[in-house]
Structures are given as C-alpha cells and as structure tokens.
Amino acid sequence: MTKISTYPLRLPASVKAEVERLAAEDGTSLNQFVATAVAEKLAALRTAAFFTERRGQGDRAAFRALMTRGGGEPPRPGDELPGKE
C-alpha cells in the first residue's frame, strides 16, 4: 500500500474556488484533483529532463542514412502524406 503524507496547502481563495469547481466537474475531490495535478507536473518535468539529457546523443548522419536508405515498401492506401496523392 502507498504511504500517504499530509501537507497543509495554502491557496488564494480564487484559485481554490476554481479548483473546487473543476474537481466537482471532474467528479473528484479537491484533494484528488490537486494530487493528480502535482503528479502531472512531476511527469512533465521528468519528461523534459529526459529529453534535455538525450538531446546531445543523437547522430544526424546515422538518422539521415536511415531515412534515405533503399528498400521498404510503398505506403498502403490511406497512408499517403497530405497533398502527396
């Protein structure tokens, strides 16, 4: 089971009112809505950090060679690029 900790959160009244409204629309509690929002922000920050770390590891020459290699098969019907009919 996940261990739960508590944290007293201070929000401006206008922000709290909007969060309460959105949580009610979503069918969740205020606490669940805030916990989900924090988890989404953490995921976004981790994703950004991952791509920042990986950014310099690409090999453009290898990518270009892969994209211009021969072989393969033509696109199936419906897979064409827009405007390339």
CA dihedral (36, 42, 45, 48) in degrees, to 10, reads: -80
pLDDT greater than 80 at residue 57 = yes
What value, to the nearest 5°, has the Cα angle with vertex 74 and ends 68 and 80? 95
Banded model confidence at residue 84, pLDDT cuts 50, 70, 90: low
Which one has a higher pLDDT value, 55 or 83? Answer: 55
Place of tokens 């405007």: 83
Residue 15 and residue 18: Cα distance in Å, rounded? Answer: 5
